[in-house]
Structure 1
Amino acid sequence: MTSRGTTSRFLKSVLQNGVGRDFIEDGIVDYAKKNPGTVVYVSPQPARVPKIVAEYLNGNVKEEIITNKTSLEISQLMTKLTNQSGLDIIRIRKPFHTDSPSIQGLWHPFTNRPPAIDPIMPRP
Structure 2
Amino acid sequence: MSNSHLFLKSGFPKAPLQNGLGRYIGQLKRVTLKFCKESGASRGMRDFIERELVDFAKENPGVVVYVKPRRHRTPVLVGEYLNGTREWINCRNFTKEEVTKWLELMRTQSGPSGALRLRKMWHTDVPSIQGPWTPFTLKSPETNLVVFPSEEHSKPLFVEKSATEKLIELFQKQKLEDGDLDKNRAK
TM-score (norm 2): 0.44
CA deviation string 1:59-95 (max 9, x = no partner): 11111111111111111110000000005267xxxxx
Q: 1:16 to 1:67 in 2, by over 3 A?
A: closer
Whether 2:135 is the aligned partner of 1:101: answer: yes
The structure with the greater share of residues assigned to helix is: 2
| Counterpart secondary structure, 1:42 | strand
| Counterpart secondary structure, 1:52 | strand
Whether 2:109 is the aligned partner of 1:84: answer: yes
Cα offset, 1:100, TM superposition: 4.3
Cα offset, 1:15, TM superposition: 4.0
> Contact conserved, 2:86 with 2:112, CA < 8 A, in 1?
no
Q: 1:47 to 1:15 in 2, by over 3 A?
A: closer
**How many pairs align?**
96
| Counterpart secondary structure, 2:88 | strand
Q: In structure 2, how many angstroms separate the alpha carbons of the residues matched to 1:20 and 1:68?
A: 9
Q: State the structure with more CA Rg.
A: 2
In structure 1, the residue matched to 2:146 is 110
Whether 2:67 is the aligned partner of 1:42: answer: yes
Q: In structure 1, how many angstroms separate the alpha carbons of the residues matched to 2:41 and 2:111?
A: 30
In structure 2, the residue matched to 1:64 is 89
Query: Please, which runs of 5 or more residues in structure 2 have no aligned partner?
Result: 1-37, 116-131, 153-187
CA RMSD of aligned residues (A): 2.8
In structure 2, the residue matched to 1:29 is 54
In structure 1, the residue matched to 2:44 is 19
Higher mean Cα deviation, 98-107 or 35-44?
A: 98-107
Structure 1: which amino acid aligns with 2:59? K
Query: Please, which runs of 5 or more residues in structure 1 have no aligned partner?
Result: 1-12, 91-97, 116-124
Q: In structure 2, how many angstroms separate the alpha carbons of the residues matched to 1:73 and 1:18?
A: 12
Q: In structure 1, how many angstroms separate the alpha carbons of the residues matched to 2:41 and 2:147?
A: 66
- Bigger relative CO (Cα 8 Å, ≥ 6 apart): 2
TM-score (norm 1): 0.63
Q: In structure 2, how many angstroms separate the alpha carbons of the residues matched to 1:19 and 1:111?
A: 58
Q: In structure 2, how many angstroms separate the alpha carbons of the residues matched to 1:87 and 1:16?
A: 24
> Contact conserved, 2:42 with 2:74, CA < 8 A, in 1?
no
In structure 2, the residue matched to 1:10 is none
Q: In structure 2, how many angstroms separate the alpha carbons of the residues matched to 1:87 and 1:49?
A: 21
In structure 2, the residue matched to 1:74 is 99
